[in-house]
Chains A and B, each alone.
Chain A
Amino acid sequence: MDKHGYSSPIAEEFAQEMVRRNKVDRIVAMAPVGILLFLVALLSIVADGFFTGYNIQTILGQLSIPLVMSMGLTFVILLAGTDLSGEGLGGFVGSIVILMVLNTKTDLDMGLWAILIAVAAGLVVGIISGVIHVYGKMPSFIVTYAMSSIMAGFAVLSYRGQPAMSKYEFFITLSRGRFLGIPSLTWIALAIFAISYVLQERTRFGEYVFAIGDNERVAKNTGININRIKILVFAWSGLCIGVAGVLGAIRIGRGEVVIGKDTVFPAITAVVVGGTPLTGGRGGVVHSLVGALIVTIIYNGLILLGVSTYIQAAIQGVIIITAVALSVKRGRKVVTK
C-alpha cells in the first residue's frame, strides 16, 4: 500500500523480491561461519589433539601471517583486482629486515627502525605496482606477478645467496611471547585487522573502495578520484605484505626469500572463501578474518591428520576453485577473462 491508498502490485512484488534477496544474501554471508564451525566440530572428532589448549594456541600462531596478508588483499579484491606480489615482496621485506637488525651478516644494528624501513619498503613497492597498474593500464595480476619475480630476485641479491640469521633479542622475545595466551605475533595481526576494519567501515576510503568495486564507471562519474584510491589500495596491500614479511622473518629467525613462499595462495583462499568474490564490491575484512581462520584450521587439521605437506597446496587449489565457482555469476551474458 502506498500513500495514495491503493496497492501497486509491481512495487509490492519488487519489495518482496528485495526482501527475499536480502534474506538469501544474509544466508550466503553466514555460510563461511557455518563452514568454520563445521570444520572445528569435524576436526575435533577426527583429529586427535585438535581441540586442546596447546593446539588452539598453535592455530592462532599459524593464523598471523595469512591474516595480515589477507587484510591487504581484501581491499585489492574488493576493487576486483589482485595482488600476487606477496611471494617475492614478502621474501624481500623479510630478508632486508634481518639484514638491518643485529644479525650474523651485516654490522647494521638499527633495532626498531629496521622494522619501520622494511615495512616502508613494502609500502613503496605496493605504490609502484599500483602506479604501473593504473597509469600503464595493465592488469593488476600480471603487474604484481612480474613484481613478485623482481622482488624475489632483489631478496636473494640483498643477502647474496647466504641468508643472515637474526641475533636480535626483541625478535626472539616476540616469537616466543604470549599475552593472555595468544602469541604476540597474532596480536600484531589482530591489530592490523582492527586497522583494516576501521579503514573499511569508518573512512571515506573504505566507502570509495566498495563503490569502485561495485561499478567503476559509476564511481568515476560521481567524481571519485579512482586512480588515487586504487594506488592507495595497492600501497595498503604492500604495507600488509611488508608486515607479513617481518612476521615471517621473526618466526623463522632468518632473512630468506622463502619467507614469502606459499603465502599468497592461502591469503587469496582466505579472502575468497570468506565471501569476498573476485569480482569485487561485496564482502570485506570481517569475512576475510573468517576465511583466514578456515584456511588455517584446514592447514592445521591436515598436518594433525598426517597428510603429506605436498598435498596441502593441491587441496587449497581445489578449495579455491570450488569457492570461486560457487561465488561467480553465471549466465550467457557474463564475460570472464
Chain B
Amino acid sequence: MSNSAHHDLATSGRTWASGRSWLRDNMSRFISLASIVLLVIIFTVMNPNFLGAANVRNLLTDISPLLVMSCGVALVLLLGSIDLSMGSIASCSAVMLTLTFTCAGWWSYALIFLFGVFAGFLNGILHAKLKVPSFIATLSTQSIWQSAAFLLSGGQPLTLIPKNWGYVNWVRAKSIGPIPLGPIPPLFLIGLVLMIVYYVYQSRTETGKTMMALGANERAARLIGLGINRAKIVAFTFSGIGAAVAGMIFAVKLKSGIPTVGEQYNLIAIASAALGGVALTGGRGHIILVILGVGLITVIQNGMNVIAVDGFWQQIVFGLLVLAAIYMNSDRRRRDLVVK
C-alpha cells in the first residue's frame, strides 16, 4: 500500500498530500477489500463449504481470465487511454485455439499468444502513430475481431474434439513435476505470473515508468525526452496479450471456443482495474492491487450464481460498479479540468 501511495505522490506531484487525501486516493481499494471480506463472511455463513478446498479452487480458476485481462487493461488505463477490444480479442483467441489444435498441436498456444501480440500492437500503432483516440480505435478493432471470431466459428460455439483433449488436460493438474500445488489451480498460476511480469515491467523498466509518467502529464513526459510512442505501443501490446491469454484460458477451461465468450469482459475488466484503484484519467494506479478489484468482481459473480440471480442483474450491477469505481478515482479537486 505504501508503495502505491508513493507512486501516486511521485506522479501527480501533490506535495500537500495529507493522511486524509491518502485515504481518499485509496478509497476504492479499501472499499474493494472491505467488500471482499464482508462478502466472503456472508457466503461462508450461508454455506460453510464456501471456503472449502473445492470452492477455493473454483474461485481461483474463475479469477484467472479476468486477472490477466484486468492487468493488461490497467497498463492502458495508466496511459489515460482505454482498450475496448479485449473482449473480442479473447473471443477470437478462444475460437482460434480450439481450431488450431488439430494442425499445430502444442504450438497452438504460441500461435495464439502471437495473435495477441499482433492485435495489441495494431491497437498501439493505430492509437500512437495514427493518433486515433484509443476508445474509437479499439472500438473499431473490437468489431473487426468480433467479425473474425464469428466467421471462423461460423457463428456457433465450437466444441473441442475429444482427440485434442490431451492438449488441455493440464488444466486439472495437481502438481508441477514434483511440486504439489494443493488447492491452487494451474490457470491461477498463469494469471499470477502474468500479473507479476506486468508489475515488474511497469515499475522497473524505463518504458514501464514512462507509461505512468505520460499518463500523468504527456506534454511534460515528451519534453523530458521519454519514449512516448514506444510506451503506448507496449502498453497496448501487453493488453492484447492479456486478452489473448484470457481467451486461451476460456477455451481450455470450457473445452470449447465460444465466439461471444469475452463479450461482457470489456466492462468487467475495466471495472476491476478501477476498483483496484487505477484512475481512468491515467498516471495513477498499481498493477498488483488490481487483484483487489478482480477478487471483488469474481466473488460477486460467483455469489450471484450461487444465489441464482438472473444474468441481466449482473449487467446492471457491473455497470453501476464501473460508475462507482471511476467516480471514486476521478479527480474533482481541480476546477479547470476539462473532461470530454
Binding site for B on A (CB under 8 A): 79-82, 84, 132-133, 136-143, 145-150, 152-157, 161, 216-217, 265, 268, 272, 278, 280, 308, 310-314, 316-318, 320-321, 324-325, 328-330, 332-337
Contacts and interface: CB of A to CB of B under 8 A. Distances in A.
A336 to B, nearest CB: 5
A316 B310 contact: no
A336 B131 CA distance: 6
Given A81-B340, A137-B331, A335-B218, A150 B319 contact: yes
Contacts of A156: 310-312, 315
B318 A149 contact: yes
A325 B132 contact: yes
Interface stretch (B36-44, B59-67, B147-155): B147-155
The secondary structure that dominates the A interface is helix
A141 to B, nearest CB: 5
B323 interface: yes
Nearest to A316: B143
Contacts of B132: 321, 324-325, 328, 336
Contacts of A317: 139-144, 147
Q: Which 10 A-B pairs have the closest CB atoms?
A: A150-B319, A153-B315, A314-B147, A153-B316, A317-B140, A149-B319, A156-B312, A313-B143, A310-B150, A146-B322
Given A80-B340, A146-B322, A138 B330 contact: yes
A283 to B, nearest CB: 15
Interface size class of B (residues with CB under 8 A): 35 or more
Nearest to B316: A153
B151 A142 contact: no
Contacts of B319: 146-150, 153
A15 to B, nearest CB: 31
Interface string B288-320: 000000000000000000000011111110111
Contacts of B311: 156
B273 to A, nearest CB: 12
A324 to B, nearest CB: 5
A303 B314 CA distance: 35
A330 B229 CA distance: 13
B147 A136 contact: no
A325 B322 CA distance: 29
B243 interface: no
Interface in B56-94: 79-82, 84
Contact of B337 (A80, A137, A145): A137
Contacts of B270: 142
A81 B332 CA distance: 18
Given A317-B140, A325-B130, 15 more contacts: A132-B323, A136-B327, A138-B339, A140-B339, A141-B82, A142-B326, A146-B320, A148-B319, A153-B319, A156-B312, A280-B340, A308-B151, A310-B151, A310-B155, A324-B137
Nearest to A311: B147
B98 interface: no
A328 B130 CA distance: 8
Given A139-B280, A268-B136, A314-B148, A217 B336 contact: yes
A278 B280 contact: no
Contacts of A334: 131
A142 B82 contact: yes
Contacts of A142: 82, 270, 280, 322, 326
B336 A324 contact: no
B127 interface: yes
Interface string B245-272: 0000000000000000000100100100
Contacts of B320: 146, 150
Contact of A139 (B136, B155, B339): B339
Nearest to B148: A314
- Most central of A137, A141, A272 by chain B CB within 10 Å: A137
A262 B115 CA distance: 26
B136 A216 contact: no
B24 interface: no
B131 A328 contact: yes
Contact of B338 (A132, A217, A313, A328): A217
Nearest to B151: A310
B317 to A, nearest CB: 8
B9 interface: no
Contacts of B151: 308, 310-311
B133 interface: yes
A153 B312 contact: yes
A117 to B, nearest CB: 21
Nearest to A308: B151
A84 B266 CA distance: 14
26 contacts: A132-B327, A136-B323, A136-B326, A136-B332, A138-B323, A138-B330, A143-B323, A146-B267, A149-B315, A153-B313, A153-B316, A156-B311, A216-B338, A272-B136, A278-B136, A308-B151, A314-B146, A317-B140, A317-B143, A318-B144, A321-B130, A321-B140, A325-B132, A328-B130, A330-B131, A337-B80
B297 to A, nearest CB: 13
